[in-house]
Amino acid sequence: MTEVSLRSLQKLYGKTAALKAISLDVTHGEFVSLLGPSGCGKSTTLKCIAGFEDITDGRICFDNKDISRKLPEDRDIGMVFQSYALFPHMTVTQNLAFGLEMRRVPKADIARRVASAMEMVQLTPYADRYPKALSGGQQQRVALARALVIEPAILLLDEPLANLDAKLRDEMRGFIRDLQKRVGITTIYVTHDQNEAMTMSDRVVVMFDGEIAQAAAPEDVYNRPASERVARFVGNANILDLPVAGADAQGTTVTLPGGTPLHIAPCAAPARAGAPDRLRVMARPEQITLTGPGLGQLPGRIEKRYFSGGHVEYTVATECGALFVTGPTTQHVSEGDTVGLSFDPARLWPLPDPAPERAQ
Ligand SMILES: Nc1ncnc2c1ncn2[C@@H]1O[C@H](COP(=O)(O)OP(=O)(O)OP(=O)(O)O)[C@@H](O)[C@H]1O
């Protein structure tokens, strides 16, 4: 298992700064996802690690050794792309054997390692098929096995599930994660799908505009986002801009319209330079409870109601603006109903001043 360190990694394409001096340590056997909108630099990061792109500045280290100038074939990396990139004129067995033959592995070892990799991705019955006779999910499993059969130190995956339909994507998520845990290989996974990043990763690295906005466990990124932009990118976020009634070492007290105080636990959110008497707090939809009229801490009216299978989604008009709330399907609330909203202050998250982000 190998540790990957990116140290002030910079990549310029002409005048475009695809990566602005990013630093990241991925530990032995860790599964890290790079998550962010299109163009934020996820694929560039992966290509630099793989050696397909030269870096402009900074260093890439594997186990503390600088490999920034090594050729891709000398980096000991397995890579899986969105497009599978299988050899169409080769059978599954031949696709898997190719990398080993290139490395001049003895024939008997090739047969054993190919059989074992095929078993690992449950494709043994398809050994003699050509890629075009396989489903998308099966082809992606061949691509995975082909990356793993060379026993690389690091596995890099670039949106490997993007071409699959929703159900297969769900299955493959679990499959890749289980396989990665079993093999214990250090893995860096690129996706713009926040659910994929959250369900699969030990750590999620959120990127915007060539920079890392937050690198943390999925729960932390979701519940304790480092900024309003992260809060809004990772799931639905209600942002309430509330007046501060007082603050001490135990936290900050804010006031909801109507005067109900909410005590927010202290956090690292800096005081807002422009408006120190207000605090922006985040509440996820499932962290707000719908109650009857006159109950809860904030009155509202149901504007929209969407049944979504396992739960119901509501847009609720309030004095704090339209809030997005989810509730159980057993609750009978209709569009136009007056309701009360109840907040659990322990689950509200204070956000830093959004002004610098908007200025970007
Ligand atoms: N070969 C290139 N030449 C010039 N600019 C490039 C090149 N490759 C990437 N870029 C630019 O670098 C920035 C980062 O691109 P990158 O492909 O890393 O983003 P991404 O987050 O992977 O996006 P996507 O999810 O759309 O693949 C973008 O502004 C992109 O236009």
Number of structural domains in the chain? 2
27 phi, psi to nearest 5 deg:
-85, 170
Per-residue pLDDT of 92-102, as tens digits, reads: 999 999 989 98
Percent of the chain that is helix, strand, coil (3-state, to 5) = 30, 35, 35
Answer whether 37 contacts ligand 1 (Cβ < 6 A): no
Q: Which ligand 1 atom sits closest to the C-alpha of 190? A: 22
Looking at every residue in the chain, the average pLDDT score rounds to 89
Which residue's CA lies nearest to atom 25 of ligand 1?
A: 38
50 and 170 housed in the same domain: yes
220 and 286 housed in the same domain: no
200 and 109 housed in the same domain: yes
Per-residue pLDDT of 61-82, as tens digits, reads: 999 999 999 999 889 898 888 7
Averaged pLDDT, 122-128: 91
How many residues comprise the chain? 360
pLDDT for residue 81: 82
Number of neighbouring beta carbons within 10 Å of residue 323: 20
Answer whether 192 contacts ligand 1 (Cβ < 6 A): yes
227 and 254 housed in the same domain: no
**pLDDT at position 2 over 50:** yes
**pLDDT at position 229 over 90:** yes
Which residue's CA lies nearest to atom 20 of ligand 1?
A: 39
- The residue among 202, 231, 260 that closes a domain is 231
Q: ipTM above 0.90?
A: yes
Max CA separation in the chain (angstroms): 77
Per-residue pLDDT of 18-60, as tens digits, reads: 999 999 999 999 999 999 999 999 999 999 999 999 999 999 9
**pLDDT at position 250 over 50:** yes
Q: Using the 8-state DSSP alphabet, how is residue 193 labeled?
A: -
217 and 243 housed in the same domain: no
Which residue's CA lies nearest to atom 17 of ligand 1?
A: 43
Q: Which helix (H) or strand (E) holds 287?
A: none
Domain span at 322? 237-358
Answer whether 29 contacts ligand 1 (Cβ < 6 A): no
pLDDT for residue 291: 93
Answer whether 39 contacts ligand 1 (Cβ < 6 A): yes
* Rounded distance between C-alpha atoms, residue 173 and residue 21, angstroms: 30
Write the CATH number for 249.
2.40.50.140
